[in-house]
Structure 1
Protein backbone atom coordinates (compact mmCIF):
# COMPACT_ATOMS: atom_id res chain seq x y z
CA UNK A 1 0.00 0.00 0.00
CA UNK A 2 1.09 3.56 -0.68
CA UNK A 3 0.06 6.96 0.60
CA UNK A 4 -0.02 9.61 -2.11
CA UNK A 5 -0.03 13.28 -1.12
CA UNK A 6 -0.04 16.17 -3.54
CA UNK A 7 -0.14 19.93 -3.24
CA UNK A 8 -1.79 21.52 -6.30
CA UNK A 9 -3.22 24.82 -7.48
CA UNK A 10 -6.80 25.67 -6.51
CA UNK A 11 -7.98 26.13 -10.08
CA UNK A 12 -6.82 22.61 -11.06
CA UNK A 13 -8.97 20.86 -8.41
CA UNK A 14 -11.87 19.85 -10.68
CA UNK A 15 -9.52 18.43 -13.32
CA UNK A 16 -7.64 16.45 -10.66
CA UNK A 17 -10.88 15.08 -9.15
CA UNK A 18 -12.10 13.92 -12.57
CA UNK A 19 -8.74 12.34 -13.43
CA UNK A 20 -8.60 10.49 -10.10
CA UNK A 21 -12.12 9.14 -10.60
CA UNK A 22 -11.18 7.86 -14.07
CA UNK A 23 -8.00 6.28 -12.63
CA UNK A 24 -10.07 4.31 -10.12
CA UNK A 25 -9.40 6.19 -6.88
CA UNK A 26 -11.90 4.96 -4.29
CA UNK A 27 -11.41 7.60 -1.61
CA UNK A 28 -9.66 10.96 -1.62
CA UNK A 29 -9.30 13.75 0.94
CA UNK A 30 -8.94 17.37 -0.13
CA UNK A 31 -7.85 20.12 2.27
CA UNK A 32 -7.32 23.83 1.67
CA UNK A 33 -3.84 24.84 2.80
CA UNK A 34 -1.53 27.86 2.57
CA UNK A 35 2.22 27.84 2.11
CA UNK A 36 5.10 28.71 -0.16
CA UNK A 37 7.73 26.91 -2.17
CA UNK A 38 10.83 28.13 -3.90
CA UNK A 39 9.00 31.17 -5.28
CA UNK A 40 8.49 32.50 -1.72
CA UNK A 41 5.13 34.04 -2.53
CA UNK A 42 4.36 36.66 -5.14
CA UNK A 43 4.08 40.42 -5.49
CA UNK A 44 0.70 41.89 -6.42
CA UNK A 45 -0.72 45.36 -6.95
CA UNK A 46 -3.98 46.61 -5.48
CA UNK A 47 -5.18 50.17 -6.05
CA UNK A 48 -1.68 51.26 -6.96
CA UNK A 49 -0.05 49.78 -3.87
CA UNK A 50 2.40 46.90 -4.18
CA UNK A 51 2.25 44.16 -1.56
CA UNK A 52 3.63 40.65 -1.11
CA UNK A 53 1.47 37.57 -0.73
CA UNK A 54 3.80 35.16 1.04
CA UNK A 55 1.37 32.33 1.82
CA UNK A 56 -0.16 31.01 -1.38
CA UNK A 57 -3.48 29.09 -1.14
CA UNK A 58 -3.24 25.52 -2.46
CA UNK A 59 -5.12 22.21 -2.24
CA UNK A 60 -3.62 19.26 -0.33
CA UNK A 61 -4.72 15.90 -1.75
CA UNK A 62 -4.30 12.68 0.22
CA UNK A 63 -5.22 9.14 -0.75
CA UNK A 64 -4.20 5.56 -0.07
CA UNK A 65 -3.76 3.17 -2.98
CA UNK A 66 -2.81 -0.42 -3.67
CA UNK A 67 0.65 -0.86 -5.20
CA UNK A 68 -0.82 -1.86 -8.58
CA UNK A 69 -2.86 1.40 -8.72
CA UNK A 70 0.10 3.68 -7.99
CA UNK A 71 1.17 4.38 -11.57
CA UNK A 72 -2.34 5.22 -12.78
CA UNK A 73 -3.03 7.48 -9.78
CA UNK A 74 0.26 9.39 -9.93
CA UNK A 75 -0.04 9.87 -13.70
CA UNK A 76 -3.60 11.15 -13.26
CA UNK A 77 -2.43 13.77 -10.76
CA UNK A 78 0.63 14.75 -12.80
CA UNK A 79 -1.26 15.27 -16.04
CA UNK A 80 -4.31 16.98 -14.57
CA UNK A 81 -2.49 19.34 -12.17
CA UNK A 82 0.36 20.45 -14.44
CA UNK A 83 0.23 23.91 -15.99
CA UNK A 84 3.96 24.16 -16.75
CA UNK A 85 4.40 27.23 -14.56
CA UNK A 86 6.35 27.66 -11.34
CA UNK A 87 4.15 26.72 -8.38
CA UNK A 88 2.36 23.72 -9.90
CA UNK A 89 3.01 21.80 -6.67
CA UNK A 90 4.58 18.59 -5.43
CA UNK A 91 3.65 14.96 -4.97
CA UNK A 92 4.97 12.69 -2.20
CA UNK A 93 4.60 8.90 -2.19
CA UNK A 94 5.12 6.93 1.03
CA UNK A 95 4.94 3.28 2.02
CA UNK A 96 2.07 2.38 4.33
CA UNK A 97 2.90 -0.24 6.95
CA UNK A 98 -0.69 -1.05 7.90
CA UNK A 99 -4.22 0.31 7.74
CA UNK A 100 -7.07 -0.40 10.14
CA UNK A 101 -10.78 0.27 9.64
CA UNK A 102 -12.01 1.76 12.91
CA UNK A 103 -15.59 0.50 12.56
CA UNK A 104 -14.82 -3.14 11.66
CA UNK A 105 -11.25 -3.67 12.77
CA UNK A 106 -10.29 -4.92 9.30
CA UNK A 107 -6.60 -4.57 8.44
CA UNK A 108 -4.49 -4.22 5.34
CA UNK A 109 -5.51 -3.54 1.76
CA UNK A 110 -9.17 -4.39 2.40
CA UNK A 111 -9.40 -1.10 4.29
CA UNK A 112 -8.69 0.91 1.15
Structure 2
Protein backbone atom coordinates (compact mmCIF):
# COMPACT_ATOMS: atom_id res chain seq x y z
CA UNK A 1 0.00 0.00 0.00
CA UNK A 2 1.33 3.44 -0.93
CA UNK A 3 0.85 5.38 2.29
CA UNK A 4 2.07 8.68 0.85
CA UNK A 5 -0.48 8.52 -1.97
CA UNK A 6 -3.32 7.63 0.40
CA UNK A 7 -2.23 10.40 2.79
CA UNK A 8 -2.23 12.95 -0.05
CA UNK A 9 -5.57 11.84 -1.50
CA UNK A 10 -7.27 11.82 1.89
CA UNK A 11 -5.91 15.28 2.62
CA UNK A 12 -7.13 16.62 -0.72
CA UNK A 13 -10.58 15.16 -0.12
CA UNK A 14 -10.76 16.72 3.33
CA UNK A 15 -9.65 20.08 1.92
CA UNK A 16 -12.39 19.85 -0.70
CA UNK A 17 -14.88 19.35 2.13
CA UNK A 18 -13.53 22.35 4.02
CA UNK A 19 -13.67 24.41 0.80
CA UNK A 20 -17.35 23.45 0.48
CA UNK A 21 -17.88 24.76 4.02
CA UNK A 22 -16.21 28.03 3.06
CA UNK A 23 -18.71 28.31 0.22
CA UNK A 24 -21.66 27.39 2.44
CA UNK A 25 -23.18 30.91 2.42
CA UNK A 26 -23.50 30.58 -1.36
CA UNK A 27 -24.40 26.87 -1.62
CA UNK A 28 -25.76 25.78 1.78
CA UNK A 29 -27.50 22.61 0.57
CA UNK A 30 -24.53 21.41 -1.47
CA UNK A 31 -22.15 22.34 1.32
CA UNK A 32 -24.12 20.14 3.74
CA UNK A 33 -24.15 17.27 1.27
CA UNK A 34 -20.47 17.50 0.37
CA UNK A 35 -18.87 18.39 3.72
CA UNK A 36 -21.45 16.80 5.98
CA UNK A 37 -22.09 13.51 4.23
CA UNK A 38 -20.19 12.68 1.02
CA UNK A 39 -16.57 13.41 1.93
CA UNK A 40 -16.76 12.10 5.53
CA UNK A 41 -18.59 9.02 4.21
CA UNK A 42 -15.92 8.29 1.61
CA UNK A 43 -13.12 8.87 4.12
CA UNK A 44 -14.86 6.67 6.68
CA UNK A 45 -15.28 3.89 4.13
CA UNK A 46 -11.56 4.11 3.36
CA UNK A 47 -10.80 3.97 7.08
CA UNK A 48 -12.87 0.81 7.51
CA UNK A 49 -11.29 -0.87 4.49
CA UNK A 50 -7.76 -0.14 5.72
CA UNK A 51 -8.66 -1.16 9.27
CA UNK A 52 -9.96 -4.59 8.24
CA UNK A 53 -7.76 -5.29 5.20
CA UNK A 54 -4.50 -4.39 6.95
CA UNK A 55 -4.86 -5.09 10.69
CA UNK A 56 -1.97 -4.06 12.91
CA UNK A 57 -0.01 -7.05 14.21
CA UNK A 58 0.33 -5.53 17.70
CA UNK A 59 -0.88 -2.67 19.83
CA UNK A 60 -4.32 -1.62 20.96
CA UNK A 61 -6.21 0.90 23.07
CA UNK A 62 -5.75 -0.54 26.57
CA UNK A 63 -2.89 1.73 27.61
CA UNK A 64 -0.71 4.52 26.29
CA UNK A 65 2.01 1.99 25.49
CA UNK A 66 -0.49 -0.08 23.48
CA UNK A 67 -1.61 2.96 21.49
CA UNK A 68 2.01 3.95 20.85
CA UNK A 69 2.71 0.42 19.61
CA UNK A 70 -0.41 0.42 17.44
CA UNK A 71 0.49 3.68 15.72
CA UNK A 72 4.06 2.53 15.13
CA UNK A 73 2.56 0.53 12.23
CA UNK A 74 2.09 2.58 9.05
CA UNK A 75 -1.25 0.98 8.16
CA UNK A 76 -2.75 1.80 11.57
CA UNK A 77 -1.28 5.29 11.46
CA UNK A 78 -2.83 6.10 8.07
CA UNK A 79 -6.17 4.64 9.21
CA UNK A 80 -6.05 6.84 12.32
CA UNK A 81 -5.21 9.90 10.26
CA UNK A 82 -8.12 9.26 7.88
CA UNK A 83 -10.42 8.77 10.89
CA UNK A 84 -9.25 12.12 12.26
CA UNK A 85 -9.86 13.88 8.93
CA UNK A 86 -13.35 12.40 8.54
CA UNK A 87 -14.44 13.14 12.10
CA UNK A 88 -13.03 16.67 12.09
CA UNK A 89 -14.84 17.54 8.85
CA UNK A 90 -18.08 15.96 10.05
CA UNK A 91 -18.02 18.08 13.22
CA UNK A 92 -17.08 21.21 11.24
CA UNK A 93 -20.04 20.64 8.91
CA UNK A 94 -22.34 20.09 11.87
CA UNK A 95 -21.19 23.36 13.48
CA UNK A 96 -21.70 25.22 10.21
CA UNK A 97 -25.16 23.72 9.71
CA UNK A 98 -26.22 24.50 13.30
CA UNK A 99 -24.93 28.03 12.96
CA UNK A 100 -27.11 28.58 9.89
CA UNK A 101 -30.11 27.08 11.71
CA UNK A 102 -29.54 29.38 14.69
CA UNK A 103 -29.17 32.43 12.40
CA UNK A 104 -25.54 33.11 13.29
CA UNK A 105 -23.69 35.27 10.76
CA UNK A 106 -21.13 33.40 8.70
TM class by shorter-chain length? 0.3 to 0.5
Structure having the higher helix fraction is 2
Structure having the higher strand fraction is 1
Structure possessing the higher relative contact order (Cα contacts under 8 Å, 6 or more residues apart): 1
